[in-house]
Amino acid sequence: MSPIHAYLTFDGNAAEAMRFYEKTLGGKMHMMMTMGEAPGAEQFPPGAANRIMHAALTYGDGMLMASDTMPGQAYEGMKGFGVALTIETVADAQRVFNAFADGGNVTMPFGKTFWVEAFGMVTDRFGTPWLINGGKPLV
């Protein structure tokens, strides 16, 4: 069975978000295809050509995938989930947390916990909720 990977949906800014995640997580973008580059692109509504059909980014042992909504499609934002990261060192976890917090919303400050050396929750400027564990497990 394969691991579970997150698939995020954005409203026209998937390319910007995924490039930010690539840089912040030290990952590698394996695919980023616009709707205009996809087979059958002529079937998409006007304004869809520059939106992301599919993007795939690997980081460590994980994969993050994303796409954009179609133009005019109702977008309610991301809710009801969080993308959990476990980062080997507290310092690197703090760096990632701070990058996501820049322009975002901290819902739980990064700090010591009983299960791991440090943990924090933040929703980044693109609307993605993150749960970041850093350092060694304590339980």
Among positive and negative, which fits the CA dihedral 132, 20, 28, 41? positive
- Check which CATH number belongs to the domain holding 106 and give it: 3.30.720.110
In a domain, 52, yes or no: yes
Same domain, 53 and 88: no
Give me the pLDDT at residue 114, please.
96
Question: Are 97 and 57 contained in the same domain?
Answer: no
Contacts of 43 (CB under 8 A, 6+ apart): none
Quote the pLDDT of residue 129: 98
pLDDT value at position 17? 98
The reported pTM is 0.94
Output the pLDDT for position 139. 86
The pLDDT score that the predictor gives to residue 2 is 79
Domains identified in the chain, total number: 2
Residue 36 sits in a domain whose CATH number is 3.30.720.100
Ranges of residues in the chain with a pLDDT under 70 are none
Q: Are residues 26 and 59 in the same domain?
A: yes
At 1 the pLDDT is 78
Query: In which domain, by residue range, is 102 found?
Result: 83-137
Looking at residue 93, what is its pLDDT? Answer: 98
Q: Examine the domain organization and report whether 14 and 57 are in the same domain.
A: yes
